[in-house]
Structure 1
Amino acid sequence: MNVIAIRPRTDDQYTPSEEGGELGTFSLKWIFAFLVRRWILIAAVGLLVFILCFTSFLFQRSQYTATALVMINAGQDQVLAPDQMVGGQQMAPAQVVDSQLEVLRSRELAGRLVDALNLVNDPEWNVMLPPDQAPVAGPVVPPAAETPQEAATREQLRQNVIVAVANSISVNRRGLTYAAEVSATSTNPERAAQMANRLVDLFQQYQMEARLDSANRANSWLSTRVRELRDDVQEKEAIVERYRAQTGLLSAQGGLLSEQQTADLQGNLTQARADLAEREARLQQLQATISVGGSADAIAGVLNSSVISQLRAQEAQIARRQADYESRYGEAHPSVQNVRAERTDIRNQINAEIARISSGLRTEVEVARARVNALEANMDLMRGEMVGNNEQLVRLREYEREAAASRTVYESFLTRFHEIADQGTMRTMPAQLVSAATVPTEPSSPRLSIAFVLSIVLGAGLGLAAGFLAEALDEGFGDADEVERKLGVPALATVPKLRRTDLRQVPPASQHPVGYLLERQVSAFTESYRVLRTTIIFAAGQPKTQIVAITSAVPDEGKTTVSLCLSRVSALSGQRVLLIDCDLRRRSVKDVLGIEPTTGLLQVLAGEASWRQAIYADELSGMHVLPLSEAGFTPKDIFGAEDMSRLLAELRNSYDLIVLDCAPVLAVAETRVVVAKADCAVVVARWQKTPIRAVRSALQQLQSAGANVRGVALNCVDRRVPGYYTYPAYDFSES
């Protein structure tokens, strides 16, 4: 039974790289190396682009640009006031200016300019006309009779001219000001100035037409709206008056009659209550003064009576005369008696007056009280009547509010209607021409200095782009560092490429890398294999290496040449070396060495001959070769059988180094089996040719088969190509 020996994995085996890109890291060193590697491509593409661009600029027709300066009016025509609009929002002046600039750039104005200057009949703008035809002045006059198809064709031609003219016009605002530069470009300087100035005129006409049209439409709408609002106000005010008449809620002097009556009655009642309180207070004070026996003077002060005051003055005079008479005549004198009688009469008059006034006060209090009671009764009656009218009054107030709101809206729209009517009659210019365009004396394009710089920049950019594209499409390895960075395995050696000039230095029979190694043993090529041998055999941390499998990811990588050169270098160093050809399909070893074996590896494994009978000795180097004979292909798994393992075990005792020349990993299945039986494996990759993904896939497959991949040998490295080989080469010429 055939058994495939799988070597257990170790911690230092190959780990696939996580790097996804093929361009590597962008460092200054990498950029410099990239420029050195691709400078020929970059220079060629850049020079070609520069020549094409600059030549195209040189053969361009001269273009002239004329510029007019316009001051934009930032005011707005509004049908409604800001407080009448929803949210009260309006455009800022800067937005108004930007909107006017967009009008200047519009196809509408470009179309008017085309029609005004008859640019349809100008060969500069109409590509359908012959270049030598003279422009036709005057406006466009369509033919009297034309078919719909001809009309459509003519309109399509006009639209094409409008697009061309619109592309030749530029409108730019000067900073944050309201000034704008209107520029027109043409091959004719007079035509450029004419186009710029005429465009400004057309813009002013367009804005005036738009303003008048807007005012007319606004007046028409406002007049209709004012009539509707007037009718609405009249209707709602009529509803209010009819409801007043129906409910009896009459009004006088701006208020309801019942409310005015209630207010008057309330005022009269308040006044009556005040009069009653005053009279009651005077009566109570009089009664209190009389009850405590107050003097006539005190009573007179309470009553505030002039009659009592006069009587008290007469009584005082009589009292003085009485005292005078009594002192002169005595009490029994008749004069004294008369005076006493007069004084008594005066006192009686005072008491009578007090009684009369007191009675009058009582009467006044009763009358005032009766008046207050009557007013209160009337007030209660009016309140009852108003309570009954509350619901009707609420409805009346609602009707009045609706009528007042409608009148407010009506008056506002009526005012705006008159303002819009006045605004439509004003001839204010929406834009003012500050500076008219003059005929340019120098072309605006092409400018050779700018064209030269632009061609250089474009050439350099496309050259670098071509270089980066070539670098991205280059799937091969550039140097040993790239091998280690992208694969995660060491680069064991970099084998230089042998040019034809190198091979011509040796005899014709040796003009092959294997023969060159023997003829030029002191050379960079031979030394690279000594480095490969050293890194394989004397690798630190690795067990003794006796069997080495040489393979590649894909065919034509030079693995057979590497196997032969490695074997010869090892044999020349004094080792006993055996090279076994394990590529059952190509069998290249015998062809390179020029031998025709009749017995080979297949016969040894089949037991038809011993390995000693199939060995061929290389007299030039001393190595031994176990080739493959010309016998046909066998479908048997000869490498997975125990015979191969026993053969290798037996050969270990006879040779110091055994090199297995294996088939490519991705092309042949049994390669993984052979490599797994070796102490280590070396994958050969061709410089700048072998795809990185192929080598990565081959390493993964070898790892899954249990192979101990020692590293990658980079073959056919051209160290004279700049930008790839970054280490200084050793000079072997003196040796």
Structure 2
Amino acid sequence: MLQSNLLQTDRTRLPLGGQTPSNQIDGGGIGDLVKFAVIFARRRYLMIIVTAALVFAAAMLYLRFAPPTYTAQVQILLSNPRAQFVQQQSLVPEPVVDAAQIETQLQMIRSRGIAAAVITQLDLANDPDLTSTRWSFSSLLHRIRNPDQEPEHVSKADVPNEGAIAALLDRLSAYRIGYSKIIEVSYNSSSAERAAEIANAVANAYINDQMNAKFEATRTAASWLQERLHNLNEQALTAERAVSAYKSQNNIVSTGGKSIDEQPVNDLNARLVAARTQTSDAQVKFNRYDAVLRANAAGSSTISAPDAASADVLQSSIINTLRQQYLELSRREADWSARFGRDHLAVVNLRTRIRDIRTSILEEVKRLAETSKNELEAAQQRQQELEKQLGRAVSQSRLTNSAELTIRELESRAKSLRAMHEAFLQHSMGATQQETFPISETRVIFPASPPERKSKPKAKLVLGFGLAAGLALGIGLALLRDVVDRVFRTSSQIEAALDLPCLSLVPLLSSPKAQKSTVRSQQSDEDLRSHTMSNVPTLHRAVIGMPLSRFTEAIRSIKLAIDHTPVKASNQVIGITSALPNEGKTTIAASLAHLIGHSGKRAIVVDCDLRNPSLSAAMAPNATFGLLEVANGKRSLEEALWHDPRTNLAFLPAVRRGPLLHTSEILSAENISKLFDRLRQTYDYVIVDFPPLSPLVDVRVTASLVDCYVLVVEWGRTKIDVVQHALHTAPTISDSLIGVVLNKTDIRAMARYDAHRSDYYDDSHYVRYGLSDS
């Protein structure tokens, strides 16, 4: 049952976008999910059960009327190993069995040629399974694919009709078993014997087709070999005659095929390689001397010691001697400069001697560089001379050996043709022998036998699938209904969609039939003169007649929220409105006013629904003047007020004498504002029943009259989008709203919608404190 106490929630703590608070999710986890599923099932169990039953019944009807189907399987092995001598003599290469090759064989098994051969062999042209005389899914699919083709009931003698071939292929399937070279062929038929017969016939037709194809290929290859042998023999004889004739013409005797001029050319090649090596070495040596000279140019004041790059320079004994002297004098010059100073006569003399030794070293290096340059020029001359000699020798060798080259070419061609002739002759003899021994790479390893039980339809599978599909469809439809059910049913929806706290969840009360025709006669003249409300509807006084009911507790929650809302310090004037008519705002306003009056507070309820004063019609149907007359000054406030003797509640009705065209202007007038100021001074609480937001704009001009608003929303009827739009178009009202009241709530159904608070609506919580529905 719905908990009717106040659900006071700070706006800053409300979950947005309809999301559950994170602490709720973390704390509940799988338990909350299971609880939600159970509550969802309780809420939509009837739809789920009916949908599942209908789908299950359809599955049973299908099992009852669907024709049985038997499936026979036959297994075929690809790449059947052949005898060794057959492999050696075969003209057709062994096929490489890979994924593409196996897929090709699968398509060949399901080809139209194999199907036509089986139909012709078994005389299946008029078989009931392959003709349109019997209903089947394959025939229906064939008719959809070929709408213009008329069914052929009788086939011609040797030509199967297209419908029979298509029907057989629809019932035939072939697939590879795992990653092996085994193919399993299956055929579906209404007869177990016919299924096995056709499956075996398909396998045999496929193997015969393979053998015929290989036999034809072998015979074609043998014929081509015979013709090719004859041509190769003629070409070889012609080439051999040409070799003999050329030798006779040029008086050439074979000496092993080696030319006389080959040896001089080889010697010159070897000498030229040696000369190029000497030239390269001389060039490297000269480059090293030149590098030393550039490093110790005349403009440099000091000479550096030769390093690894000048190894040739260090091989000279003269330079080594001078270098040792140079290093010794440099050491002494550094020592004396430190002891006697750089300008001392002895130090100056040492520097002069160092300079002389440096000049001597450079002169010696220049001499060695000149010598190396001469050696380089000599090596280059020898290399050029050898290159010229080699060129002349090669030219002469080409002229003298042209005849031998021609002979070699003729002999090579003759040998090639003769070798090709011998190879083709051997293959031709093997092909001739193989024509009498045809064999296929495929064989049947497990023939088909009549199946003992039908393969389709499978009762357990169909019934299980029907039940599962029915449950899934039922759950889907239930979820769809929940998604499209865009109405307010829980306080969480209000808080998430409107960003407002839910002040109370008011249960639905059955309203007694009002006897409007006798209301006027039942009131005494004294009550009319004193403006006493003696016949207030029972629904409006439910808070007095049922003080321990959930309805009364819900109204107390509204009053508590008004008294303790943090928006304003004083909430003396409270406006009650709704988004649409007939949501129960008038009942909430009257009940709240009676509750406040019964508690001893000075309370007044004002009917400001000028176009439809339903509260006035219920509480003061005999009133002849009211709010408008008091505001215009035609009547005093005391004259227009009606009183309830049981609750000490005051009521200011609104009397409608004719059509009111500018009610919003009336409510925004200064005299109405002054009237409300007077009511503030006189009463503790002023409860105002306003018209709804969506049809009229009257409420939008009353922001200056009231302290806060309470929005009434009907449970299970008011659309969320409508309320959001109404508040969006009335921002002044939205800013002053302290919360929302979910009215006319189905208490027993709430536990099926609020998953996280389903245990919160148990009757035991209310019975323990003496509360009840009535």
Match of 1:49 among 42, 51, 55: 55
**Structure 1 pair 172–266 and aligned structure 2 pair: CA distance change class (3 A):** closer
In 1, Cα distance between the equivalents of 2:183 and 2:608? 84
Q: Which amino acid aligns with 1:614?
A: A
- Tell whether the 8 Å contact from 1:638 to 1:644 is kept in structure 2 after alignment: yes
Give the TM-score, by structure 1 length: 0.64
Match of 2:546 among 520, 540, 563: 520
Q: Secondary structure at the match of 1:124?
A: helix
In 2, Cα distance between the equivalents of 1:221 and 1:704? 101
In 1, Cα distance between the equivalents of 2:391 and 2:501? 119
- Specify the alignment match of 1:173 in structure 2: 176
**Structure 1 pair 183–681 and aligned structure 2 pair: CA distance change class (3 A):** same
Q: Deviations over 1:665-691 (max 9, x none)?
A: 233223233256432222222222222
- Specify the alignment match of 2:396 in structure 1: 386
Q: Does residue 1:433 correspond to 2:444, yes or no? A: yes
Q: Deviations over 1:477-517 (max 9, x none)?
A: 3322333244332111111122579999xxx9888632544
- Specify the alignment match of 2:752 in structure 1: 723
Q: Deviations over 1:123-145 (max 9, x none)?
A: 334334599xxxxxxxxxxxxxx
In 2, Cα distance between the equivalents of 1:545 and 1:704? 16
Q: Deviations over 1:626-650 (max 9, x none)?
A: 3332231222523334344333222
Q: Which amino acid aligns with 1:263?
A: E
Q: Which amino acid aligns with 1:126?
A: T
Q: How many pairs align?
A: 579
- Specify the alignment match of 1:655 in structure 2: 683
Q: Does residue 1:637 correspond to 2:665, yes or no? A: yes
Q: Which amino acid aligns with 2:677?
A: A
- Tell whether the 8 Å contact from 2:586 to 2:614 is kept in structure 1 after alignment: yes
Match of 1:442 among 444, 448, 453: 453
In 2, Cα distance between the equivalents of 1:499 and 1:417? 106
Q: Deviations over 1:297-331 (max 9, x none)?
A: xxxxxxxxxxxxxxxxxxxxxxxxxxxxxxxxxxx
- Specify the alignment match of 2:593 in structure 1: 567
Aligned ranges 1:53-452 → 2 under 5 Å: 53-73=59-79, 93-106=98-111, 109-110=114-115, 112-128=117-133, 158-211=161-214, 260-263=259-262, 383=393, 385-386=395-396, 427-452=438-463
Aligned ranges 1:18-37 → 2 under 5 Å: 18-19=17-18, 27-37=33-43
- Specify the alignment match of 1:587 in structure 2: 613
In 1, Cα distance between the equivalents of 2:426 and 2:508? 94
Q: Deviations over 1:686-734 (max 9, x none)?
A: 2222222222333434446563221221112112225136222313249
**Structure 1 pair 534–130 and aligned structure 2 pair: CA distance change class (3 A):** closer
Unaligned runs of 5+ in 1: 1-10, 77-89, 132-147, 271-375
In 2, Cα distance between the equivalents of 1:704 and 1:161? 79
Q: Which amino acid aligns with 2:559?
A: R
- Specify the alignment match of 1:495 in structure 2: 506
Q: Which amino acid aligns with 1:122?
A: D
**Structure 1 pair 522–591 and aligned structure 2 pair: CA distance change class (3 A):** same
In 1, Cα distance between the equivalents of 2:420 and 2:589? 107
Q: Deviations over 1:150-178 (max 9, x none)?
A: 79999999555544443433334333322
In 1, Cα distance between the equivalents of 2:716 and 2:595? 25
Q: Does residue 1:458 correspond to 2:484, yes or no? A: no
Q: Deviations over 1:7-43 (max 9, x none)?
A: xxxx95899933599xx99833322221121112212
Q: Secondary structure at the match of 1:629?
A: coil
Residues 152-161 or 695-704, more deviating? 152-161
In 2, Cα distance between the equivalents of 1:684 and 1:462? 36
Q: Which amino acid aligns with 1:18?
A: G
**Structure 1 pair 586–269 and aligned structure 2 pair: CA distance change class (3 A):** closer
Match of 1:40 among 21, 42, 46: 46
In 2, Cα distance between the equivalents of 1:160 and 1:483? 64
Give the TM-score, by structure 2 length: 0.62
- Tell whether the 8 Å contact from 2:126 to 2:153 is kept in structure 1 after alignment: no
Q: Which amino acid aligns with 1:169?
A: L
Q: Deviations over 1:96-132 (max 9, x none)?
A: 334323433456544554554454523334334599x
- Specify the alignment match of 2:604 in structure 1: 578
Q: Secondary structure at the match of 1:638?
A: helix
Q: Deviations over 1:322-365 (max 9, x none)?
A: xxxxxxxxxxxxxxxxxxxxxxxxxxxxxxxxxxxxxxxxxxxx
- Tell whether the 8 Å contact from 2:152 to 2:161 is kept in structure 1 after alignment: no
**Structure 1 pair 250–154 and aligned structure 2 pair: CA distance change class (3 A):** farther
Q: Secondary structure at the match of 2:198?
A: helix
Q: Which amino acid aligns with 1:488?
A: D
- Tell whether the 8 Å contact from 1:67 to 1:182 is kept in structure 2 after alignment: yes
- The share of aligned pairs that are identical, in percent, is 26
Q: Deviations over 1:360-381 (max 9, x none)?
A: xxxxxxxxxxxxxxxx9xx999
- Tell whether the 8 Å contact from 1:41 to 1:463 is kept in structure 2 after alignment: yes
**Structure 1 pair 554–268 and aligned structure 2 pair: CA distance change class (3 A):** closer
Q: Which amino acid aligns with 1:96?
A: Q
- Specify the alignment match of 1:315 in structure 2: none
Q: Does residue 1:710 correspond to 2:710, yes or no? A: no
- Tell whether the 8 Å contact from 1:113 to 1:195 is kept in structure 2 after alignment: yes
Q: Secondary structure at the match of 1:683?
A: strand
CA deviation after TM superposition for structure 1 residue 588, in Å: 1.9
**Structure 1 pair 94–603 and aligned structure 2 pair: CA distance change class (3 A):** same
**Structure 1 pair 63–42 and aligned structure 2 pair: CA distance change class (3 A):** same
Q: Which amino acid aligns with 1:520?
A: M
Q: Secondary structure at the match of 2:452?
A: coil
- Specify the alignment match of 1:17 in structure 2: 16
- Tell whether the 8 Å contact from 2:77 to 2:445 is kept in structure 1 after alignment: yes
- Tell whether the 8 Å contact from 2:711 to 2:741 is kept in structure 1 after alignment: yes
In 2, Cα distance between the equivalents of 1:409 and 1:669? 110
CA deviation after TM superposition for structure 1 residue 577, in Å: 2.3
Q: Which amino acid aligns with 2:700?
A: R
Q: Secondary structure at the match of 2:488?
A: coil
- Tell whether the 8 Å contact from 2:579 to 2:694 is kept in structure 1 after alignment: yes
**Structure 1 pair 527–107 and aligned structure 2 pair: CA distance change class (3 A):** farther
Q: Secondary structure at the match of 2:710?
A: strand
In 2, Cα distance between the equivalents of 1:609 and 1:20? 54
In 2, Cα distance between the equivalents of 1:416 and 1:501? 115
**Structure 1 pair 421–549 and aligned structure 2 pair: CA distance change class (3 A):** farther
In 2, Cα distance between the equivalents of 1:412 and 1:614? 135
- Specify the alignment match of 2:708 in structure 1: 680
Q: Does residue 1:558 correspond to 2:584, yes or no? A: yes
Match of 1:670 among 692, 695, 698: 698
Q: Secondary structure at the match of 1:17?
A: coil
In 2, Cα distance between the equivalents of 1:724 and 1:733? 21
Q: Which amino acid aligns with 1:62?
A: P
CA deviation after TM superposition for structure 1 residue 251, in Å: 10
CA deviation after TM superposition for structure 1 residue 422, in Å: 8.3
Q: Which amino acid aligns with 1:49?
A: V
Q: Which amino acid aligns with 1:632?
A: P
- Tell whether the 8 Å contact from 1:200 to 1:433 is kept in structure 2 after alignment: yes
In 2, Cα distance between the equivalents of 1:716 and 1:452? 44
**Structure 1 pair 73–561 and aligned structure 2 pair: CA distance change class (3 A):** farther
Q: Secondary structure at the match of 1:498?
A: coil
